[in-house]
Amino acid sequence: MLAKNIFHSLLFFAVAVVGAVIATMRLGMPDIAILVATGAWILFALPCNLAAGNIFSIIMPYRVNPGRISRQKGSQSNALLGLLVQLVVLGVGAGVFFIGWFYEDEWLATPIFVLLAVGAVFFWMRTLRNTDAMANNRRDALIATLAKTD
């Protein structure tokens, strides 16, 4: 799970960097308060996504067949729940930025996101720590899914 989390973190940051470069080229450099708040939001969003991914990997596993990878579908429930997690994280981010806009304080979002990030990191570390126990509780279903032949 830790290796999967590291890989997904690298992908997350690669997408964030490419998105930041494209947005900066298109719209210009944002205010420093917006940059700091966005960085704090990323510190909140990444652990949320990693924790959800760890839980989904154990609860709804699917076997990837490298020979059929271009024609193989993943777990639909996994994809829908992942989309729901994305919507919740984006909704929380939009809500926090709205609070800052409502009170006309650009810096208000940063401490809120930092507090949310601390909670998200705690939740992610807890799910990472309990991964073995969760997998052990579901070992029969995991073995049946991952060891079946197509």
For residue range 19-72, list pLDDT tens digits in order. Answer: 999 999 999 999 999 999 999 999 999 999 999 988 888 887 766 666 655 565
Task: Indicate if the pLDDT at residue 75 is higher than 60.
Answer: yes
The pLDDT of residue 73 is 63
Full domain range(s) for residue 123:
2-61+73-147
Residue 27 falls inside a structural domain: yes
Q: How many CB atoms lie within 10 A of CB 142?
A: 17
Distance between CA 120 and CA 125 in Å, rounded?
Answer: 9
The pLDDT of residue 66 is 61
pTM (whole model) above 0.75: yes
Residue 114 falls inside a structural domain: yes
Q: Could you give the number of structural domains in the chain?
A: 1
Residue 66 falls inside a structural domain: no
Q: Which of the four pLDDT bands, split at 50, 70 and 90, describes residue 79?
A: confident
- Averaged confidence pLDDT in the chain: 87
Answer whether 9's CB lies under 8 Å from 50's CB: yes
Q: Which of the four pLDDT bands, split at 50, 70 and 90, describes residue 125?
A: very high
Residue 89 falls inside a structural domain: yes
Residue 104 falls inside a structural domain: yes
